[in-house]
Structure 1
Amino acid sequence: MRSISDTIERLGKLRSAHGSSPLFDDRLTDLGPFGSNRGALEAKIHIPKGLMPRAPLVVVLHGCTQTASAYDNGSGWSRLADDYGFAVLFPQQTRSNNANMCFNWFEPGDIRGDQGEAFSICQMIETVTARYDIDRSRVFITGLSAGGAMANVMLATHPELFAGGAIIAGLPYATATTVPEAFDRMRGHGLPGTDGLQALLRSASRHDGPWPAISVWQGTKDHTVVPANAVAIIEQWRGVHEVEHQPATEGIDRHQKIVWRGKDGREALELYQLGGMGHGTPIDASSGYGTAGPYMLDAGISSTQHIARSWGLIASFEKRVNLDSGKSYEQPASTFQSPYPSGKGGIQQTIEKALRAAGLMK
């Protein structure tokens, strides 16, 4: 078992690669003032030229040791925004808040809707939404690692703000309140059971629906934030979405996607399991969106493109394979809708095995 000091050292080794003089074209600009900023964060934006009124907004949260610009260069979000006409907001951590540039997803003063970093991000969103005439019904959020955990914080505390969220190698909401607890949860130790996870989510706001659709991305060989956390995030959101217990499974770009549909037939929850991938954001360098680097992993699948498609930001057709039936489908991408029947057999065993490993099921 790694010590806390060892993990911090490992996370900090690549910090110099994302210093004040990046070796790439910085496509982001400062947002400027955005309110009281109780969480003392910074804000970067990318607004495509000729942005149309009522455009969507994507909020992107970087991981530890990264900056907003470095994460944008690796993930390709601003280039996708240029091609498809949506705005992108990049909250950025400061070293005075966290020496490793991690969003403080475990600090009680930063994960409440009207406090700290969460409140600052809300203020950024309100500023961008008003200034650029954003469609308030099409605001989305995503993030990696600590940024993924903070994206989950925002989805839990302000679900009314978001149509959807994508959590990459992140953690469930409010399961840690100290640094030692945070590292334990990253390793999969001490995660609450399903009832506890869902109670934490319901206590985060007074919201009673509709709820944002949730997409979870996880490398199967991630030893920094272990896969048990991805399962716990799904369990945390499964209650409010009232999804079918039996999911459907499909193969996408040599990886696996598991889908839970709500009563209306829409895809409410989805889990991407990236076979053999470690800790980072999956990209496809050949797509033209994103560049491989530290924690930006060329896994042959562009999470940026797939996430944007699931949110209806990109209109395209994809060939998919239902792993339960073996049949292939050509489906127009739309916002969290699925034509696939519920899965059977093997996938249920896979989910139950993961739940048991996480201590969420006996």
Structure 2
Amino acid sequence: MLFQSLAASLTYGSAALAAQLTQVSNYNNNAKAKPGMWVYVPDTVKVDALVVAIHSCQSSAQKYFANDKIPWHKGSDGKGYVTVWPSSTTECWDVSSKASLTHDGGGDSNAIANMIKYAITQYKIDPAKVFVTGGSSGAMMSNVLAATYPELITAVSLYSGVPAGCFVSSSGQAAAWNNTCSGGQSTATAQKWGDVVRNMYPGYNGTRPRMQIWHGSVDGTLAPANYQETIKQWTNVFGVPVTPTSSKPDTPDKNYRMDDFGPNVEGIWAVGVGHSVPSHLTASEAWFGL
């Protein structure tokens, strides 16, 4: 009986000490936008790396963290990196207003950049090991962050998004839906898409985050055409041809085609997959070098 009580006590104690998703109430955010910041620090931190996991529409940091199809907290436990989970105050992330589509513009992107800066200091993160991922609206924001804050991010792995700036609102409305873009009708040359990125942070000539882009061939929410437009955008930014150097089945998902555009851009075309492509932890971590 004494042994059982002791075992129960130890089990309870270890559960009480287990890592939890925790809100950061003050992350030194000077942006007008005020999304919430949540952080998960694993019980054993093994690497000085940070992954920012950005939720989709009609979600939150807590819901995204608890979603079994979103494996980043499991990756955090397994490999010992810190994860930050931004939580939007609107139904979807603001990837449409000038404030969010401009470096230090005061929008959602500015606020998430402040979360990254806070995390680097607070959790002793190597600034060269900051990675961003997200699905759907979170993928759109991942693209926007890569354009507006390239100096803060090392690599991005985004699932089922659109090109940075594609959702721009002509009225300047924040978090506006853009039917033309979502329907795959916003098409442009690679040069023009690249210019959209460059114009979000005029004068920036430093390194850019490596981009891994996933999209489903039968996506009914963000049309499959957005895959090629996003590829156009980032291949132009990196100055490489829009034609892949190689295409091959992505083991173990044989219905996934991996398009290689050199060391900085990789596309994964998920044949027969809708919206949104499930997160592939191993492949994304490999892209990040984790």
2:288 corresponding residue in structure 1: 311
1:39 matched residue in structure 2: 33
State which of 126, 149, 155 in structure 1 corresponds to 2:146: 155
Trace 1:206-285 onto structure 2 (pairs within 5 A).
Answer: 206-244=203-241, 245-252=243-250, 253-254=253-254, 255-261=256-262, 267-283=263-279
Distance in 1 between the 2:88 and 2:62 partners?
Answer: 12
Query: Which residue of 147, 160, 167 maps to 1:169?
Result: 160
Q: How many residues align?
A: 259
What are the superposed Cα offsets for residues 259-293 of structure 1, whole Å, 9 maximum, x if unpaired? 101xxxxx21111111111101414xxxxxxxxxx
Cα deviation per residue 1:140-187 (whole Å; 9 max; x = unaligned)?
101111111111110001111111111211111112332777121010
Which residue, 14, 23, 28 being the options, matches 1:30?
23
Q: Distance in 1 between matches of 2:190 and 2:137?
A: 22
Change (3 A) 1:32 1:159: same
Q: Structure 2: how far apart are the matches of 1:30 and 1:75?
A: 19
Q: 1:215 and 1:248 mapped to 2: Cα distance? A: 15
Q: Which moved more, 1:107-116 or 1:212-221?
A: 107-116
Retained in 2: the 8 A contact 1:27–1:78?
no
The 8 Å contact of residues 129 and 136 in structure 1, kept in 2 or not, is answered as yes
Structure 2: 5+ residue stretches without partners:
1-18
Matches within 5 A, 1:87-102: 87-94=82-89, 98=90, 101-102=91-92
Structure 2 counterpart of 1:249, which letter?
S
For normalisation by structure 1, the TM-score amounts to: 0.68
Letter in 2 for 1:155: A
Aligned counterparts of 1:110 and 1:209: Cα–Cα separation in 2? 20
| Match for residue 45 of structure 2 among 15, 40, 51 | 51
Change (3 A) 1:216 1:200: same
**Structure 1: runs of 5+ lacking an equivalent:** 1-25, 262-266, 284-302, 314-362
Whether contact under 8 Å (1:145, 1:168) holds in the other structure is yes
- Supply the AA of the counterpart residue of 1:243: V
Shift of 1:208: 1.5
The answer to whether the aligner puts 1:68 opposite 2:61 as a matched pair is yes
**Structure 1 runs of 4+ with >6 Å offset:** none
Aligned residue in 1 for 2:5: none
> TM-score, length-normalised on structure 2?
0.84
Letter in 1 for 2:223: V
- Secondary structure in 2 matching 1:108: coil
Q: Whole-Å Cα distance in 1 between the matches of residues 167 and 288 of structure 2?
A: 30
Q: State the match for 1:264 in structure 2.
A: none
| Aligned positions of 1:125-136 closer than 5 A | 125-136=116-127
Aligned-residue CA RMSD (Å)? 1.9
Q: Distance in 1 between matches of 2:284 and 2:40?
A: 18
Aligned to 1:194: 190
Report SS of the residue matched to 1:256.
strand
Q: Residue type of the partner of 1:304?
A: L
- Taking the aligned partners of 2:64 and 2:245, their CA distance within structure 1 comes to 32
CA distance in 2, matches of 1:144, 1:246: 24
Q: 1:275 to 1:82 in 2, by over 3 A?
A: same
Whether the aligned pair in 1 keeps the contact of 2:94 and 2:107 (CA below 8 Å) is no
